[in-house]
Structure 1
Amino acid sequence: MNIVRLSDQDNVVTAIRPLDVGQDGATQRIPHGHKMACQPIGKGDAVLKYAQVIGYAAEDIAVGAHVHTHNLEFRAVDVDYAFSTNLKPAQVPLVQHSFRGFRRATGRVGTRNYLAVLTSVNCSATAARMIAAHFTPERLAAFPNVDGVVAFVHGTGCGMASSGDGFEALQRVMWGYARNPNVGGVLMAGLGCETNQIDWLIEAYGLTPGPLFQSMNIQDVGGLEKTIALGIRKIEEMLPHVNAFEREEAPASELMVALQCGGSDAWSGVTANPAVGYACDLLVAQGGTGVLAETPEIYGAEHLLTARAIDRATGDKLLRLIDWWEDYVARNHGSMDNNPSHGNKKGGLTTILEKSLGAAAKGGTTPLTGVYKYAEPVTAKGFTFMDSPGFDAVSVTGQIASGCNLVCFTTGRGSAFGAKPSPSMKVATNTDMYNRLTGDMDINAGTVLSDGQSVEEVGQQIFDMWLEMASGSMSKSEAQGLGDYEFVPWQIGAVM
């Protein structure tokens, strides 16, 4: 088999391997993963893949022709939205699964046990990194239940309005990381005069200073050197308390998984994303939570999610996010079709509509139970959505702040992403890339095409690995130490 047609309604097929002229009806060379017209398409006619519109023909396209950026154009699609018309409840599981995690005072259960050094502003980033760097594996050897001391630093916190979307998003991120169940103890470090005051955060979110939560700022302590020394002493005092947490049996319902994709290709929506969607359905059946994000990457597929919204209010909340993004992009003289990236297009994706239809598959088939702001705490169980850009690091930062204790990341072109404090696993969309990047990829969903495995079989592998990771098994990105530089809060609004 050299081509695949995903729906009888489609007027394009996708090349599983490169097609030469004359092969499978090709009249032009068709690169691997790219589309070929399987029937005549007139100029201005809709091009269909997944039985959905992915764009419009910019010229007449003959059978066998290559369909891509040179002859397929993006337009916004007019949709009559349906609400709550496709509600498929999760199946009742035959077995209730569990994992071994760290139970916190909040009742949440962590899959890791980190001590976090959080910064309120870029000005305290060096201090935080130097404090964390002091705690080498040798110095932590006496604390076997502690996964590490990690600094979460960023490039903002000042030169911003002290209210509004940007300020509130940054505070939600800081509060969310401090309260993530994978964090056993927190040290917050600031400069002192910044807009993003630590005291305001503590007051606004009801954080309680104590053995597991400390704060300081450079100006009050007396400079960088003294701050680093004090920070090290504070962490040394906190370590025995964090080490006192031990893994215990917990139900799979305590898992909250960030559903993410990056470096996508034409196979993302055919292999890896549907397999992750199946795993998400299995998790939801256990009472757990899947969190889809990247609002620009559901653009054009949002109608599929409103039909799954648990009620009209939830669907409307999602559409308000779409409206905000359309306005945001217009104000900045851009286009929603600026995504997909160059690499996405080289991998066979042509428009944001095509990319979104594949990306939305990560959410499985169960009802959409909640829609949340960036980094807002996710409180609903089941399949949920959190607003974010499509930029991987920014999006995952928000998902972890929202409470995710695991990350599942699909990729077609290849990505070396990893996250802390929530470990990230990689799912490859195609076997060729998996074989090139075996040191980074955890699961090969490309076997759906190369080996005849079913999406359900790969989805079960993904779900099983979630349980193993939750109990302490390292993903490949985690074993390589990724995650120290992937904390990137979303900067919204003016920099002043």
Structure 2
Amino acid sequence: MTQDNPSPRVIRIHPSDNVAVAVAQGGLAAGERLDGGIELQTHVPQGHKVALVALAEGDAVIRYGEVIGTAALAIPCGGHVNETNLLMPTPPSLDDLPLATRPAPPAEPLEGYTFEGFRNANGSVGTQNVLGITTSVQCVAGIVDHVVQRIKRELLPKFPNVDAVVGLNHSYGCGVAINAPAAVVPIRTLKHLAQNPNFGDQVMVIGLGCEKLQPSTLVDDQPVRIYENTEAADPQANVLSLQDESFEGFDDMVAGIMAMAERHLEHLDKRQRETCPVSELVVGMQCGGSDAFSGLTANPAVGFATDLIVRAGGSVMFSEVTEVRDAIHLLTPRAIDSSVGKALVDQMAWYDDYLSQGQTDRSANTSPGNKKGGLSNIVEKALGSVIKSGNSPIIDVIGPGERLRKRGLTFAATPASDFICGTLQAAAGMNLQVFTTGRGTPYNLPMTPVIKVSSNSTLARRWHDLIDLDAGRIATGEASIEEMGWELFQLILDVASGRRRVAADKLGLYNDLVLFNPAPVT
């Protein structure tokens, strides 16, 4: 990124770019002159693109050094380039992409950085200490919500080392084609959600009894002891079905769940934070409510922090297939080997087919807010989105709902939907998430802290109590990408250690978990 003065009016990313982004709040007025004498032909809103040369109809429009589209009509030098005068190019072909052709530059290991986490018996480390109550079917959601509130009022005060109790409700479990091949996605997601490291090896499953997804399925790879009744409860019990004949009415069911929860809380309350290396961090990187600054400020800072975590031996996931698809040619060369590169291609192809079956394509991704923030199409959005992955080699690819397998940088294939992506990253094992936004969102997850990074300072000022870090200072010249990357890295360590709470946690704002279910519903 080149900036001609400490407070530039426009930012041009790459020397070959023929558009630049307006920086100033309120944008640029018609008649203003840029450095070099370019006169604005019309008002260009903040975050939107101004043509640096005259573009004839059909000419390539270049940002990030990549073609983001072609001019739908003649655009004068100094004109406003946006979705109304830009045609989207075809996506990169998935045939003959370069695989593992660009080795990562040597990076010195980053040593001596730690955080205070909760070690689990299975070797994972949590950044929070949370009682998770997962469900096998939506039918029980009302009772779980009721019990969660009772636990918060009546039990949590007795267990000061436990941060929270979370009901993992969802819309799956019955009325679904549970044996369909694609049903593996929601089922393994639910199984793996219960294994999130912030739940401390505790598995508590509430089911109905007659559902297709039987509660025991969610813990079939772990020791299971079925809870039978309130009087003769196994202290290790972790599965309860409301249709159990030992329950006489609603109050009996609630009492059974409360008794189970108290035993789990007793176990969780014994957990203590201890010093852990950064290699135990599993950080999910995501963006939502993106604008044209996302790829200039917040995402590059996140990419820098990604490389720091990887250098320290930690794990980072980046996701969102539709926001990777148009930049896939930039990612496959970074694969650690050809099999990882092929896995990237396979995930893109699977999702192309998935969208085709739904009679849509990747262009449906870009939202009205994205366009208002200056992102003209999914190509421009994807090129800015993948910057969150930094420069580290991509060492693995996992499908939706799968668990992380390796330390380093992994592509976790997910839809771009904020809440679905967050749910799948939590199932993959993340213990903390970083979320960049340019338009703003109160999004937060109930079981992992979510650090919100604003791409522009206008949003950071307006949402002063919802944003954790203002990366807009990069655009104004107040901070460099490197400085913001280090600041974010330190913030990650502080949040992971419990030394700082993220803004949305302070306000008690949490999104529902949303499963990705590509299988049929019966």
Could you state the TM-score of these two structures normalised by the residue count of structure 2? Answer: 0.92
Counterpart of 1:357? Answer: 383
Which residues in structure 2 correspond to 1:140-289 (within 5 Å)? 140-184=156-200, 185-203=202-220, 205-209=221-225, 214-221=238-245, 222=247, 223-289=249-315
Matches of 1:7 and 1:237, distance apart in 2: 58
> Which residue pairs with 1:303 in the alignment?
329
Match of 1:474 in 2: 501
The alpha carbon displacement at 1:227 in A equals: 2.0
Letter in 2 for 1:467: L
The alignment partner of 2:203 has SS state of strand
Which segment is superposed worse, 420-429 or 157-166?
157-166
Any stretches of 5+ residues in structure 1 without a counterpart?
Answer: none
**Cα gap change, 1:159/1:263 in structure 2, threshold over 3 Å: closer, same or farther?**
same
For 1:404 and 1:58, locate their aligned partners in 2 and report how far apart those are by CA, in whole Å. Answer: 43
Partner of 2:355, secondary structure, is helix
* Structure 1 residue aligned with 2:423: 397
Task: Give the equivalent residue in structure 2 for 1:121.
Answer: 137
Q: Secondary structure at the match of 1:133?
A: helix
Question: Does the 8 Å CA contact 2:136/2:218 hold for their aligned counterparts?
Answer: no
Deviates more, 1:310-319 or 1:252-261: 310-319
Q: CA deviation at 1:480?
A: 1.4
Is 2:361 the partner of 1:335? yes
Aligned to 1:139: 155
Aligned equivalents of 1:225, 1:85: Cα separation in 2 = 63
Equivalent position amino acid for 2:507 in 1? Q
1:131 CA drift (Å): 1.5
Q: Which residue does 1:431 correspond to in 2?
A: 457
1:224 CA displacement? 4.0
Name the CA distance, whole Å, in 1 between partners of 2:438 and 2:19. Answer: 20
Query: Are 2:76 and 1:62 equivalent residues in the alignment?
Result: yes
Give me the whole-angstrom Cα distance separating, in 2, the residues matched to 1:34 and 1:212. Answer: 58
Aligned in 2, Cα 1:15/1:102: closer, same or farther, shift over 3 Å? Answer: same
Label 1:255 to 1:78 Cα distance change in 2 as closer, same or farther (>3 A). closer
Partner of 1:465: 491
Say whether 1:26 aligns with 2:40. yes
Instruction: Give the counterpart of 1:348 among 352, 366, 374.
Output: 374
Q: Structure 1 residues 164 and 305 mapped into 2: Cα distance closer, same or farther (>3 Å)?
A: farther
RMSD value over aligned CA atoms? 1.6
1:316 aligns with: 342
Kindly indicate whether the alpha-carbon contact (under 8 Å) linking 1:282 and 1:463 is maintained by their aligned counterparts in 2: yes
Matched, 1:76 2:90: yes
Aligned-pair CA distance for 1:208: 3.8
Q: Distance in 1 between matches of 2:82 and 2:517?
A: 33
Q: Given the superposition, is the C-alpha separation of residues 128 and 3 from structure 1 closer, same or farther in structure 2, using an over 3 Å criterion?
A: same
Letter in 2 for 1:409: F
Aligned to 2:22: 15
Measured in 2, the distance between the counterparts of 1:397 and 1:212 equals: 27
Partner residue of 2:60?
A: 46
Once residues 190 and 332 of structure 2 are traced to their aligned partners in structure 1, the CA distance between those partners, rounded to angstroms, is: 30
Structure-1 separation of matches of 2:132 and 2:409: 28
* Deviation of the 1:451 alpha carbon: 4.1
Deviation at 1:206, TM superposition (A): 3.5
CA contact (8 A) 2:203 2:219 kept: no
**How many angstroms does 1:175 deviate by?**
1.6
- Cα 1:339–1:213, aligned 2, differ >3 Å: closer, same or farther? farther
CA contact (8 A) 1:299 1:352 kept: no
CA contact (8 A) 1:177 1:183 kept: no
Q: Confirm or deny that 1:95 pairs with 2:111.
A: yes
Contact 2:135 2:170 in 1 (8 A): yes
Q: Secondary structure at 1:112's aligned position in 2?
A: coil
Contact 2:22 2:46 in 1 (8 A): yes
The count of corresponding residues between Structure 1 and Structure 2 is 494
The alpha-carbon distance between structure 1 residues 352 and 286, as it changes in their structure 2 partners (threshold 3 A), is same
Quick one: distance in 2 between partners of 1:462 and 1:138? 37
- What displacement does 1:89 show? 4.8
SS in 2 for 1:477: helix
Deviations 1:254-288 (A, max 9, x none): 00001010100000000000000000100000100
Any stretches of 5+ residues in structure 2 without a counterpart?
1-7, 226-233
Which of 5, 24, 29 is matched with 2:12 structurally?
Answer: 5
Structure 1 partner of 2:231? none
Aligned-pair CA distance for 1:176: 1.3
